[in-house]
Amino acid sequence: DTGVSQDPRHKITKRGQNVTFRCDPISEHNRLYWYRQTLGQGPEFLTYFQNEAQLEKSRLLSDRFSAERPKGSFSTLEIQRTEQGDSAMYLCASSSSGQGLKTQYFGPGTRLLVL
């Protein structure tokens, strides 16, 4: 299967702990996105990369959040000093950057619960 993969699928942590999530995009997709989805809502954009460059960050991405894509392939999203409000589904998507619609394909998500 060459779809977007995310790890872990579920994470339970205590408030104040740091967590890190990983996303592996569809191979040869040079754009990678992170979204956050809370219960009953649609996904909300957090940040995106083209290759290794982080080109945009949402205001939702507080300074406790950091995302990296060091080699332009997989990406990590780290949340430091987690808060209960960080509990959500974190979704990763990837797309190409060629001409035409840059359709985004999503991974299965990482569900985070902060106790």
Partner 1 sequence: GQQLNQSPQSMFIQEGEDVSMNCTSSSIFNTWLWYKQDPGEGPVLLIALYKAGELTSNGRLTAQFGITRKDSFLNISASIPSDVGIYFCAGTLTTGTASKLTFGTGTRLQVTL
**Positions that interact with partner 1 (CB under 8 A):** 4, 6, 31, 33, 35, 40-45, 48, 55-56, 58-60, 91, 93, 95, 100-109, 111
In the chain, helix, strand, coil percent, each to 5? 5, 50, 50
Q: How far is it, in rounded angstroms, from Cα 19 to Cα 2?
A: 26
Of 92, 110, 111, the C-alpha closest to 29 is: 92
Of 68 and 108, CB closest to partner 1: 108
For partner 1, the closer of residues 29 and 82 by Cβ is: 29
What's the min distance (Å) between Cβ of 18 and partner 1? 24
Give min distance, CB of 115 to partner 1, in A: 19
Provide, rounded to whole angstroms, the least separation between the CB of residue 48 and partner 1. Answer: 6
In the bound state with partner 1, the residue whose beta carbon lies nearer, of 2 and 18, is 2
Task: Say which residues have a Cβ less than 8 Å from residue 4's Cβ, sequence separation at least 6.
Answer: 23, 24, 25, 26, 92, 93, 94, 105, 106, 107, 108
Which of 22, 31 has the CB closer to partner 1?
Answer: 31
As given in the structure block, the two tokens for residue 53 are 């460059």
Chain centre distance of CA 4: 11
Give the nearest distance from C-beta 98 to partner 1 in angstroms: 12
